[in-house]
Structure 1
Amino acid sequence: MKHIIWIALLTMSLTSFAQTKVGTVNNEYILSQMPEIVEVEEKLKVYSAQLDSTIQVKYQAYQVLVEEYNQKEEEGMNEVMKKIKQKEIIDLEEDLKKLQQNSSKMLQIQQEEYLRPLYTKIGTALEAIVKEEGFTQIFDENNSIIYIDPRFDLTLKVLDRLGIEVKQNADVLPEEDPGN
């Protein structure tokens, strides 16, 4: 009896597995091989240099302010002037820190903007292969799923089982396959 159950389970597993076709793709490797990446890297170098230049100008202004403060302190500044100059230095220091933090975020945003068309190109090619070869799931180099055949998405079924009515949003959830 146990053998019959194991055979039945094995048959069901193989049948289920036969319905799926899984693949992987290394987006970063594909990206590194695309000729357009050279232009993107050059644009990023130029943009980074512009950001660095802005930071350097701000840093030089900071250094000048500190030198002026030190010279005037030696000459004998009154307490009110000291506090004003110290506040100017602290404010400029904070601005410089914010500029450095923002520049790395801005560089990242710019990089994403430059790479978006390349990833779209990769995605279009991948989608064509998926349809041609019948893949049901595709994972990327980080083992994150980047494509799943909507027929295998159980989201709507789980919500239905939980008794939750969902207002269909085409951008978020796939159409439910009438065959499932």
Structure 2
Amino acid sequence: MKSKIICIAFALISSISIAQSKVGTVDSEYIINLMPETKVVSERSQNYGAKLDSSFTIKVETYKAKIEAFKKNEKTLGELAKQAEYKELAEMESDIKKYQQNGNQLMQLKQDELMRPLYAKLSNAIATVAKAEKYTQILTITGNEFAYIDNKFDITELVLKNLGIAIPVAEGK
């Protein structure tokens, strides 16, 4: 008899604890793309990329000019001067290759640096909505695959409202 009561009590406690958990989803990338600050971040990233490109272009033009000057003066240069020019050109070429390789990494670092405040703002908004709506867990649907998601637990629109971002009206509605 005691074992039946213990089993029933355990089942009741388990069902109560399961019933208390509320899981929701949010499309964080969708929200980030709608945030007005994203346009500023995009402009800043493009400006930074343009600066990198202009620096790269200057390096390449300087390198080309140095090659042309070397070709014109090659016949009049002595052997030691030629070796010094070859060494300088090789160093310039190596510098250009390194700059080109680092360009993508620099752009990604700048993008991450500029986006960090937006993700922090989004995270705070998600936490506010989740607490207000008594969710125990919120999963992001961007980049993840789920077999089934009940859209009534998606808090994307609530987070957008919390951030004061208007929800775009879909065409055809």
Q: 2:114 maps to what in 1?
A: 114
Mapped to 2, the partners of 1:10 and 1:119 lie a distance apart of: 41
Residue by residue over 1:136-156, the C-alpha shift from the partner in whole angstroms, topping out at 9 and shown as x without a partner, is 222222239xxxxxxxxxxxx
Which residue is 1:96 aligned to?
Answer: 96
What pairs up with 1:110-149 in 2 under 5 angstroms?
A: 110-140=110-140, 141-143=142-144
What TM-score, normalized by structure 2, do the two folds share? 0.68
Using the TM superposition, give the Cα deviation of residue 44 of structure 1 relative to its aligned residue in structure 2, in angstroms: 1.5
Normalised by the length of structure 1, the TM-score is 0.65
- Gaps of at least 5 residues in structure 1 are 145-180
SS at match of 1:128: helix
Which 4+ stretches in 1 moved above 4 angstroms? 7-16
Please list, as runs of the form range in 1=range in 2, the aligned pairs for 1:13-28 lying within 5 A after superposition. Answer: 14-28=15-29
Q: Secondary structure of 1:17's match?
A: helix
Higher relative contact order (CA 8 A, sep 6+): 2
Change in Cα spacing, 1:119 to 1:99, as seen in structure 2 (3 Å) is same
- Paired amino acid for 1:70: K
Q: 1:13 to 1:66 in 2, by over 3 A?
A: farther
Match of 2:120, SS? Answer: helix
User: What's the offset of the Cα at 1:11?
Assistant: 7.3
**In structure 2, do the counterparts of structure 1 residues 72 and 14 end up closer, same or farther at CA, with 3 Å as the change threshold?**
farther
The aligned length equals 138
Structure 1 residue 23 displacement after superposition: 1.9
5+ residue gaps, structure 2, are: 146-173
2 CA distance for matches of 1:134 and 1:21?
A: 7
Q: Give 1:92 shift.
A: 0.5
